[in-house]
A and B are shown apart, each in its own frame.
Chain A
């Protein structure tokens, strides 16, 4: 789906969402019940560097300060983080991290953050945007990846066809929406043939706000151990604290 088609289906009540020349998405929209949803995001498979991250975080903080209470929709079709000397020189990790923190602050303040992954994303940009929302959904055809297989082949020193073969037996390392969904990163893949507004309303009515991604990963078979390991460590910490 194109961004225009997605916005039309998400916000039949009208919206003011636009994309600037850096590929950043900003705007507001009417949703059911006369509420306002705020929208930010990255479009056109644009890289997320220090300038872009600072613009997005500025907008999120303005929304927190204005005590906006509708959902905050984060639309994502990005490249990875911008790989450049300048961005790293000036502390890209801090800019990306700050954006993720602003999103979490907004969510804690009552603006439920909903990520909608409708295109590509990768690596640090994925963590700072889509994965930093309270709940992430995807549209069919979305292409999340941590690292592409050819690069992975270089780093692991394994032939590409060997990696492709291994990818068939486990969702744990290879790129792709199905694989990420199995690990629990993606809450649901929406049906592009049905109105997205209804699916958004249903999602907002159902999500609780806790981090359920490791539980989903266990149920879907993509992360067999994470939920249990986290729970056992937390129990051990509680026991040790009670006994101290």
Chain B
């Protein structure tokens, strides 16, 4: 009984926290300014899923979604975090509605930002219809908030990654921070293999999964806007950087995004592997990218961005 367990939100221990290993509540309390986090609809309210009894599955008191307010760098923010270990962080009715409510509140509260800490496998199948619709509602509420000038920053680096509808929500953010561990994708590796065969995608080939969906490829392509090391301090610094110039939600911004997506298709549309993409980008040793330490990787991102004026 010596070292504090990672689940215990000791705000004092703060910055030295491993993002991947930390719980949702621990990520939030250490990301935000010391002692500032106030949770809404917390576990004592016991607002649990009404649908898991049917499947004889245990519930969790927060349904895997922690929402609240706090200070970030001295400024008021709303924040949410998914618990990736409870049912894979998947979106169910209550889980999703908590984020919907938080984002809708942003219209009136006008916080300096909304921070969303994704950790999700997508839709919770036991309540699939409610989860799917919650994702659509979250996207609408998120974009409504951005339209009135509230930036929404997504942070991805958890066990469950950011899959399915979570990937679509993340794409709606004003800026996205990802760590190497933060996989972003719509269909998961197993789903692609199940539907298209192991020749299309071998889900047991972990190196393939990481270089295709992992944080490095996502940052190099521009799916994510900033890259963080796997610790809270690094995520905090990257989030601050993105908040300095969040993407707007207007015609000019979406035209720029359209141009980026079409250019990507034109440049890399015939690539069959991430290694090919990175080679075309100009990485000297594309096969070595997965092993690059964070500082060398950041240097590569900066050089490629400079050469392509991105």
Query: Is A in direct contact with B (CB under 8 Å) within the complex?
Result: yes
Interface of A toward B, CB cutoff 8 Å: 50-51, 54, 57-58, 61, 64-65, 81, 83-98, 100-102, 104-105, 108-109, 123-124, 126-128, 131-132, 146-147, 151-152, 154-156, 158, 166, 169-174, 179-180, 183-185, 211, 213-214, 217, 222-227, 229-234, 236-238, 240-241, 244
0 or 1 for each of B80-122: is its CB under 8 Å from A? (1 = yes): 0000000000000110111011101110110100000000000
Find chain A residues with CB under 8 A from B168 CB. 93, 96-97, 100, 124, 127-128
User: Of the candidates B50, B143, B185, which one forms a contact with A88 in the assembled complex, judged by CB atoms under 8 Å apart?
Assistant: B185
Q: Is the CB of A236 within 8 A of B129?
A: no
Is B300 in the interface zone, CB < 8 Å from A? no
Contact (Cβ within 8 A) A105 B186: no
14 sample A-B contacts, Cβ–Cβ < 8 Å, listed by A number? A90-B221, A90-B269, A93-B171, A96-B168, A108-B147, A126-B132, A147-B125, A214-B100, A225-B94, A226-B94, A229-B47, A232-B41, A233-B100, A234-B104
A87 to B249: give the CA distance in the assembly, Å. 25
On whether A96 and B186 interact (CB within 8 A), knowing A101-B249, A170-B54, the answer reads: yes
Within B124-172, the residues touching A (CB, 8 Å) are 125-137, 139-141, 143, 147, 162, 164-165, 167-172
Contact in complex: A166, B55 (CB < 8 Å): yes
Task: Tell me if A238 and B108 are in contact (CB < 8 A).
Answer: yes
Given A51-B265, A93-B185, A240-B68, 5 further pairs, Cβ under 8 A: A61-B258, A90-B269, A105-B249, A147-B128, A158-B55
Closest 5 CB pairs of A and B: A97-B171, A233-B101, A93-B167, A237-B105, A230-B101
Contact A172 B55 (CB under 8 A): no
Interface residues of B (CB under 8 A from A): 38, 40-41, 47, 50-51, 54-55, 67-69, 76, 78, 93-94, 96-98, 100-102, 104-106, 108-109, 111, 123, 125-137, 139-141, 143, 147, 162, 164-165, 167-172, 184-187, 191-192, 194-196, 200-201, 212-213, 217-218, 221-223, 249-251, 254-255, 257-258, 261-262, 264-265, 268-269, 271-274, 277
The contact of B165 among A84, A90, A127, by CB within 8 Å, is A127
Which chain B residues border A64 with CB–CB below 8 Å? 251, 254
A173 to B126, Cβ gap below 8 A?
Answer: yes
Determine which of A83, A170, A171 lies in contact with B195 in the assembled complex, contact meaning CB atoms within 8 Å.
A83
For the complex, what is the distance from the CA of A87 to the CA of B191, rounded to whole Å?
Answer: 14
Bound form: Cα–Cα A185–B167 in Å: 20
- CB contacts (< 8 Å) of B164 on chain A: these are 123-124
Report if A237-B96 is in contact (Cβ < 8 Å); known contacts: A83-B195, A172-B129.
no
* A-side contacts of B54, CB under 8 Å: 166, 169-170
Complex Cα distance A233/B94, Å? 11
Interface pair A180/B261, CB less than 8 Å apart: no
Contact B141 A211 (CB under 8 A): yes
* Cβ distance B13 to chain A, nearest Cβ, rounded Å: 25
How far apart sit A169 and B93, CA to CA, in the bound complex (Å)? 17
Is A234 a contact of B265 with CB atoms below 8 Å? no
B47 proximity list for chain A (CB < 8 A):
225, 229
Q: How far is the CB of A91 from chain B (nearest CB, A)?
A: 4
Dominant SS among interface residues on chain B:
helix
CA distance A116 to B205 in the complex (A): 40
> In the complex, what residues of A have CB within 8 A of residue B68's CB?
240
Closest A residue to B49 by beta carbon equals A225
Contact partner, A85, options B97, B126, B192, B268, Cβ 8 Å: B192
Task: Report B170 CB to chain A, min CB distance, Å.
Answer: 7
Q: Which of B108, B137, B222 contacts A214 (CB 8 A)?
A: B137
Q: Are A131 and B94 in contact (CB under 8 A)?
A: no
Which residue of the partner chain, among A152, A173, A224, A234, contacts B102 with CB atoms under 8 Å?
A234
Q: Are A91 and B221 in contact (CB under 8 A)?
A: yes
In the assembled complex, the Cα of A238 lies from the Cα of B107 at a distance in Å of 10
Supposing A124-B168, A170-B51, A234-B102 touch, asked if A185 and B40 sit within 8 A by C-beta, the answer is no
B172 partner residues in chain A, CB cutoff 8 A: 97, 100-101
Q: Is the Cβ of A90 less than 8 Å from the Cβ of B171?
A: no
Tell me how far the C-beta of B219 lies from the nearest C-beta in chain A, rounded to whole angstroms: 11
For B98, B108, B184, B254, the residue with the greatest tally of chain A CB atoms inside 10 Å of its CB is B254
- CA separation between A195 and B47, bound complex, in Å? 45
User: In whole angstroms, what is the CA distance A217 to B111 when docked?
Assistant: 29
